């Protein structure tokens, strides 16, 4: 619980895949990829830029702009060979190990699906969300 509020429950990837495979578009799909981002102890600046100030992450405040996420999803659907896109984003105060996001992409061939997953996760992280790491 966070300040008396229950945490947002993570989705069932098994259920997402069942739903995706039951969609008529599934007949065109040969691959699904899932991304699951989680809160880690190592600060982003250390992982991405190699800068170590000796701090560790103890939690994260996470928020997102729903309209921007929907626009990013719509843009992903325009990519070659992509027939299924699903996104779940957490929100609020997150703890180490908590799920930040899930992204499911379904498409015709591996290169198209990999490109779409890379594009959408990158766009969400760079344009749609706010992540504030709390450190100690």
Tokens encoding 39: 């809160």
With left for phi above 0 and alpha for psi between -120 and 50, is residue 121 left, alpha or beta?
alpha
pTM of the model: 0.92
Tens-level pLDDT at each residue, the chain (136 residues): 555 556 799 999 999 999 999 999 999 999 999 999 999 999 999 989 999 999 999 999 999 999 999 999 999 999 999 999 999 999 999 999 999 999 999 999 999 999 999 999 999 999 999 999 999 9
Read off the DSSP letter of residue 107: E
Axis crossing angle, helix 110-123 with helix 66-77, rounded to the nearest 10: 160
Q: How far, rounded to the nearest angstrom, does the alpha carbon of residue 56 sit from its chain's CA centroid? A: 22
Count the residues in the chain.
136
Domains of the chain: 29-135 (3.90.1170.40)
């Amino acid at each position: 619980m966070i300040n008396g509020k229950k945490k947002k429950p993570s989705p069932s990837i098994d259920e997402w895949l069942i739903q995706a495979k039951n969609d008529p578009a599934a007949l065109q799909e040969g691959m699904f990829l899932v991304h699951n981002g989680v809160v880690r102890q190592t600060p982003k600046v250390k992982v991405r830029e190699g800068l170590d100030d000796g701090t560790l992450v103890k939690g994260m405040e996470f928020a997102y702009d729903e309209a921007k996420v929907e626009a990013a999803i719509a843009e992903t659907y325009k990519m070659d060979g992509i027939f299924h896109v699903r996104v779940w984003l957490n929100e609020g105060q997150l703890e180490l190990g908590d799920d930040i996001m899930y992204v499911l992409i379904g498409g015709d061939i591996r290169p198209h699906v990999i490109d779409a997953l890379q594009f959408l996760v990158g766009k969400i992280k760079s344009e749609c969300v706010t992540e504030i790491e709390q450190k100690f």
